Amino acid sequence: MVGALAEKHYGAELTAGALKVSESRIIADLLLRGGGQEEWHETLYKQNALQTRNLETARRLGRLIRQRLELMNADLWRLIRDGSKTVATHACLAAAIKHSALLGDFLDLVVREQYRLFTSKLSPTLWEEYLNDCRGRDSMMPLWNDSTRRRLRSSVYQTLAQAGFLDSTRTLRLQPVHIAPEVLGYLRNQREEYVLRCIQVSP
């Protein structure tokens, strides 16, 4: 099912970072405390709370995480800020899926099928095949160069490894994942049907 994508488009926002759980905890705390622009500037840029190499990276990463989290509400932010590592990771994954149809559909259409076929690991060719198929679902999808396509693949596979679907980005070996009940409960309460479908691909 890709009907949920009728109003969505594939974008390259994921090149700015994978799940970034520890950084997301910082952004979630700022959102929960209702910090104004001065506090954001002080925390992210002057204190370099995200521990980035330079100011531009801090801006790009802070913007990506904030855009992800603002698609959800304070209940999910609390799971990220206060939850265990597993809960926070799965909550970050839910927000990333909602923010990126490119990530969500890869889980829903490709990773789910590999589990169904009892494939032991993701084939190196799956990503390029997937990107080529995406154009049929989104005629407005940009024509990304090889570098961007590789960076997107890296971010998506890092995300899958951080969330537990892959044992590492080196082996690409699939492993079962049981999404934290707290995160599934939030998604059901908010009727996040697309995110629920994409996040529950493991048998």
- Structural domains of the chain in order of their starting residue, each with its CATH number: 18-199 (1.10.3540.10)
How confident is residue 51, by pLDDT bands cut at 50, 70 and 90? Answer: confident
pLDDT digit string, tens, across residues 94-128: 999 999 999 999 999 999 999 999 999 999 899 99
- What whole-number distance in Å separates Cα of residue 194 and Cα of residue 6? 12
Long-range contacts of 108-114 (CB under 8 A, 24+ apart): 108/1, 108/2, 108/197, 108/198, 108/201, 109/2, 109/133, 111/160, 111/165, 111/174, 111/201, 112/201, 114/174
How confident is residue 8, by pLDDT bands cut at 50, 70 and 90? Answer: low
User: What pLDDT does 79 receive?
Assistant: 98
User: What pLDDT does 118 receive?
Assistant: 95
How confident is residue 54, by pLDDT bands cut at 50, 70 and 90? Answer: confident
pLDDT digit string, tens, across residues 177-197: 999 999 999 999 999 999 999
CB 152 within 8 A of CB 12: yes
Q: What is the mean pLDDT of the chain?
A: 91
- For the chain, give the longest Cα–Cα distance: 52
User: What pLDDT does 2 receive?
Assistant: 41
